[in-house]
Structure 1
Amino acid sequence: MTTNPADTATVRSLKVPGARLHYEVRGKGPLIVLVGAPMDAAAFAPLARLLATDHTVLTTDPRGINRSKLDDPDQDSTPRLRADDLSRLIAHVDAGPAFVLGSSGGAVSALALAQTRPDQVHTLVAHEPPLIELLKDREQLRTGTEDLIVTYLAGDVTGAWKKFFAQADITMPEPVIEQMFGGERDPQQVADERRWFAHEMRSSTYWQPDPAALRAATTRIVVGIGDDSAGQLCDRTSRALAQSLGTEPTTFPGGHTGFVETPDTFATRLRTVIREG
């Protein structure tokens, strides 16, 4: 049996200020960067393999998550730091400027990168960034965010997740939450989750983009929303971002993690966006 080169990732690490970043490269061709926060490289692997048939695809574990280790484990993960990490990775692989798909907190990281280094990003798809500061009910959302973080750090994991899904306007039955987040769990998953609650959630959701800088940047910015995300918090934040940029959002298959749920159809839609650019 012949191995498809797109199925094989070159796995390496890069030392950056305060951390060592795990990253993976697949394929050959124009550079695509797939980034989440707190999602790691593994979540993007199925989509990366599909795109690597004719692109160089870079994925990474964000600083402090899974295989990307921090010098100081108590350091907060800010969009500015994560944008600098992405900038260093793009320069390191020396295949840019890049097409970047950032999802959730990764979209916040990528927007921060577009503000500071637009020369490295020719197109950015910001898929459902949770930018609550763009919304009129931001104060209520901040209060809710602080409450669910306190709940988690006090040890009530399932209680925190129930509050999280309620604030995100995502319907998730309580028995499902109990099954997903109660009982015995993978230690690495728990460590990454705790880091997200303690050191990442605030800085990602409270970050405020500079719409004027983003409009003036050479980067083409596409705001993405999942077809199944209507009415959810990230649907609202994404539409607010698009409005601030004077654009219309672009829909993608699935929901908040459509690239995980249906990578085939997501890749097809993403290729259409690439061609349109």
Structure 2
Amino acid sequence: MTDPTTGRLRVPGATLHYEVRGRGPLLLLIPGGTGGAASFDAVADDLAAEHTVATYDPRGLSRSPLDDPEAEQRVAEHADDAFRLLELLSPDEPARAFGASSGAIAALHLLTTRPERLVRVVAHEPPVVEVLPDAADHRALLARVRETLHARGLMPAMTEFAAGLAGEGGSRRPDPDPASHTDSAAPSGAGPALPPHAAARAERTMADLPYFLGRIVPRFMAYPPDLHRLAALSDRLVLAVGQDSPGELPHRSAAALAERLGTGLRHFPGGHTGLTTHPAAFGAHLRTALTGALTPAEAPHTP
């Protein structure tokens, strides 16, 4: 793995840690969950063969501290952070962007508000539950998670959250993931010692969980995407889902959004966390999605 060039960017209310690799047109990778920039380590070098690849720790996570640690979070603010990175790293040319999970929601908002800065956005399983016909049930889930977090603590709330995400797709482990909502690098009891880099990443992931569950999840999963604006920009948007995640809430949300917009779906390897579980194949699919058109087989799917 190539060591990236790192930098820090002051934005309103926070300081962002960002990393840059490669040369060529800019590709901004927007992480989801608690993963931060490290969630793209397995794919960034390959993508950097054709792009200047930039990623970062979103505000309040890992190495991107908030000025006010108790500040409420908003999707628009996170999308504006991504815009400021585009302005810094590609001031004269529009860029491509990829977002995973909650990062995909930030990418959708970025596209609707700053379309002149983007030529293509790939959004992998954004949990935009407000587009679902049973959105009220998922608002109730968020309320239960919030109540459990306050009454019983972090891990019971993560278990409640994971069960809600799994939906009809089966059980989901409540471990924290770097590519989305949970992290396979997180410690889970006895086992072989992690390498120092992975251990530090797992420690950051666990430390970020209360912030993610308490302040990112409630705001991001209550976000209503601008359907009219996205429909007008659909020629720049690729919605993607995992091959192994049908029935799970983020997959259903992405499929419902595609149905509402009248667009197709890309099917990426693995499930919601395919970036972690199938990095080589996931990266290959991402390279195609960044430049290729949807095929007839990728028709809209009804959730």
Compute the TM-score of the two structures, normalised by the length of structure 1.
0.90
- The reply to whether residue 69 of structure 1 matches residue 80 of structure 2 is no
Shift of 1:187: 5.2
- Which residue matches 2:155? 158
1:41-70: CA deviation from partner (whole Å, max 9, x where unpaired): 001111111101121001010000000011
| Greater Cα offset, 217-226 or 133-142 | 217-226
Q: How many Å separate the matches in 1 of 2:26 and 2:211?
A: 30
SS at 1:259 equivalent = helix
1:149-179: CA deviation from partner (whole Å, max 9, x where unpaired): 221233433322221121112514689x9x9
SS at 1:106 equivalent = helix
SS at 1:200 equivalent = helix
Asked whether the equivalents of residues 98 and 120 of structure 1 are also in contact (C-alpha less than 8 Å), the reply is yes
Matches within 5 A, 1:104-183: 104-169=101-166, 170-172=170-172
Structure 1's unaligned 5+ residue stretches are 1-5
Letter in 1 for 2:71: Q
SS at 2:270 equivalent = coil
Q: How many residues align?
A: 271
| Residues 173, 71 of structure 1: alpha-carbon distance in 2 compared, 3 angstrom cutoff | closer
- Which residue matches 2:79? 83
SS at 1:222 equivalent = strand
Letter in 2 for 1:46: A
Q: How many Å separate the matches in 2 of 1:18 and 1:32?
A: 25
SS at 1:59 equivalent = strand
1:189-214: CA deviation from partner (whole Å, max 9, x where unpaired): 33311001221111100000111111
Compute the TM-score of the two structures, normalised by the length of structure 2.
0.83
Q: How many Å separate the matches in 1 of 2:60 and 2:188?
A: 23
- Which residue matches 2:31? 36
Asked whether the equivalents of residues 28 and 95 of structure 2 are also in contact (C-alpha less than 8 Å), the reply is yes
Asked whether the equivalents of residues 234 and 263 of structure 2 are also in contact (C-alpha less than 8 Å), the reply is no
Asked whether the equivalents of residues 26 and 90 of structure 2 are also in contact (C-alpha less than 8 Å), the reply is no
| Greater Cα offset, 156-165 or 99-108 | 156-165
- Which residue matches 2:299? none
| Residues 101, 173 of structure 1: alpha-carbon distance in 2 compared, 3 angstrom cutoff | closer
Asked whether the equivalents of residues 239 and 264 of structure 2 are also in contact (C-alpha less than 8 Å), the reply is yes
| Residues 181, 9 of structure 1: alpha-carbon distance in 2 compared, 3 angstrom cutoff | closer
CA RMSD of aligned residues (A): 2.5
- Which residue matches 1:264? 280
SS at 2:239 equivalent = strand
Asked whether the equivalents of residues 234 and 261 of structure 2 are also in contact (C-alpha less than 8 Å), the reply is no
| Residues 55, 99 of structure 1: alpha-carbon distance in 2 compared, 3 angstrom cutoff | same
- The reply to whether residue 47 of structure 1 matches residue 25 of structure 2 is no
Asked whether the equivalents of residues 158 and 174 of structure 2 are also in contact (C-alpha less than 8 Å), the reply is no
